[in-house]
A and B are shown apart, each in its own frame.
Chain A
């Protein structure tokens, strides 16, 4: 079964902790877990400055075919990304098909008046948008998914204590997806697949903050049929990225 990790980070953390400073560190961890490809974010894109993180990410990935970049973004009003059209052209030129936002870390509200032009542009192109659960609140996720139904919103590191909220959001928004990194509910994988469809779940490790063994083992032992397990392991994310129209 091919595995494609939707949730991992390259780079150091300000407060220390498990780190892949080098691409080889990440590749070794992927090999140990039997992961074929990874959608990679850079810690600098979250903890320092998106543009610096994106540049370093591309430099470090250096075109490695197993590692797929995900760029961090900011609201375009300040010009920090450069002109929005130019930034979108860079995404297209470098074949970047996933973007992440960190509203909490960068101190802006995830609202229409703040982020509208960026979100509209990403939605028009059906981008995959990764959101760390700790960076947003439920109302923001509800608004975002409803206002931009063409965006594919992936909520990462949800934890296992929020199924009441997640079920309501999954029910309301077919463009919402979850990664498995910390979705450690007892039989949660199987129940979410049964209620909302296996296509709503993406294999994700949270490497290196989490060691990825849990979701890997949960999928290995899952009684879901082979097609559903393959979709979660890699098929869903592969399809979402293919459907982006940069």
Chain B
């Protein structure tokens, strides 16, 4: 008899036994300055994924969301080439460099083979509502790409509510709200905007997430629009995995959240 996902997580056993597609929608890579992260390279991440039974992680390197998005995109692509199928890369765009947006989008997708777009308006200090971002949305719409954006309640640059108008204007873009607003007030907003727009998805990684919040979001928005993500190696993936897998949700809901939804988005 196949064990349940809860049984496996409680025993610390690989989720591979389930035969599910387990995909981490929100990862990073490499060292970062703001704090010490032990062993943040791709091989360590894949070793952790093997232990947990995670097949694929979708990443943007820490360098790309920090000082140099172009060199950082090279790092992301290099890791994806090194671990094909295990690591997929987002092309990170820093809207503070408007003259480089369109070229880097094309380079990232067409030359580097990156599959989606990553934005970090907090670290790069731009608003997603800034007209400078328009080329990003147009490109994503034309190519049918995912956009994973860092979101945080109370941050006008990237609060979840800011994505409502964008989702309406660009119905072909699938917006993944990174951290689902991060804090409780942000999660309330993320739920509201997801309820109003079918092309908005809630990505779950956050050091503040609780199991109860996972259950709340599933009740309000539905498991079919929630995505497991971990922030690895910014934080340890085991923390988010437990909060999702041990939430009081059905096996089918957990199967969707832990990877099936993201697998469909990647098709």
A residues lining the B interface (CB < 8 Å): 18, 34, 159-164, 167, 182, 184-189, 191, 210-211, 213-223
Contacts and interface: CB of A to CB of B under 8 A. Distances in A.
A221 B40 CA distance: 18
> Which residue among A162, A184, A216, A221 has the maximum number of chain B CB atoms within 10 Å of its CB?
A221
A218 B238 CA distance: 5
A186 B232 CA distance: 7
A164 to B, nearest CB: 5
B207 interface: yes
Interface stretch (B107-115, B139-147, B239-247): B239-247
A167 B35 CA distance: 12
Nearest to A190: B38
Q: Which 9 A-B pairs have the closest CB atoms?
A: A217-B242, A214-B239, A220-B12, A186-B233, A161-B35, A213-B242, A191-B38, A218-B238, A211-B210
A184 B243 contact: no
A213 B35 contact: no
Given A160-B236, A214-B243, 9 more contacts: A160-B235, A186-B234, A187-B48, A188-B236, A211-B211, A214-B238, A217-B242, A220-B10, A221-B12
Nearest to A191: B38
Contacts of B37: 163, 185-186
Interface of B: 9-12, 34-40, 44-45, 48, 51-52, 207, 210-212, 232-243, 245-246
B211 to A, nearest CB: 5
A184 B51 contact: no
Given A182-B207, A210-B210, A220 B39 contact: no
A203 B11 CA distance: 16
Contacts of B38: 163, 185-188, 191
